[in-house]
Homo-oligomer: A and B are copies of this chain.
Amino acid sequence: MTTLRVFVYNPNSSQAMTQLIARSARDAAGSGIEIVAACGPATVPPSIEGHHDEAMAVPPMLDALRRAEADGAAAHVIACFDDPGLGAAREVTAGPVIGIAQAAMQVACIVASRFSVVTTLPRSIPIIEDLALRYGMAHALRRVRAVDLPVLALEADPAQARALLLREIRDARDHDGAEAVILGCAGMSDMCQSLSAETGIPVIDGVHAAVRLAGALAAGGYRTAKTGAYAWPRDKSGDLDHTAAPLRKPAQ
């Protein structure tokens, strides 16, 4: 059986979180799927906590995705719940790119009619709401809740983090009318299954969902559409002296 490679990229520079993500990814990977995980270089923030951090993390991510594809990756996962640079990532690769927020929300919309998201910092709440709007799932999103802990503190005290998550998930289940809860941060990957067991509702981890979807799409031969928003970037290196490089005319 052919093995398909799924490249799982953590846009921040935290190797500890990357190991956690890689572990979740491998647990999620089906047979025939090989996981290669990487994270951003030391020059990018150690955690992604807002638009600025996203912006700094995206250029190295694009390089990493291109190299991963050249090295044989058939699909890519962006393992950060802000889905940073999703459009750009789809431009520079042929294999499908799955953001863990979009993946988790898609899965939530198959297993439930309403869901909430629990994330780390309050400042991420409007960002995640905007993702739901962008993906068309705002009608199914009950509420985005924050445990008010920085991403990296989850690793520092997992027990406290788990207790906080458990409380939010119960509140989402009992008060939001959420039938499922999405954990809104890649650093929460490993807590997912036990939280589900304890609360009695699906608790969805984005890395897990994204790796499953990535494997399915790669094996299904799906590739990113290249005639519109995700077309290959045009090589403009010769443009500045007005010798416009030939335009690869997109359709429409």
By a beta-carbon cutoff of 8 Å, the part of chain A in contact with chain B is: 1, 13-14, 16, 28, 30-32, 45-47, 49-56, 58-59, 62, 85, 87-88, 90-92, 96-98, 102, 106-107, 109-114, 121-123, 125-127, 130, 133-140, 148, 150, 152-153, 155-156, 173-177, 179-180, 200-202, 204, 208-209, 212-213, 215-217, 219-220, 222-225, 227-231, 233-234, 236, 239-240, 242, 244, 247, 249-252
Contacts and interface: CB of A to CB of B under 8 A. Distances in A.
Oligomer copy total:
6
Of the listed residues A30, A58, A123, the one surrounded by the most CB atoms of chain B closer than 10 A to its CB is A123
A49 B249 CA distance: 13
A140 B136 contact: yes
Given A97-B110, A126-B229, A209-B220, 6 more contacts: A14-B240, A109-B135, A130-B134, A136-B139, A152-B239, A212-B217
B88 A55 contact: yes
B244 A150 contact: yes
Given A123-B229, A125-B252, A217-B110, A136 B136 contact: yes
A130 B110 contact: no
A121 B106 CA distance: 27
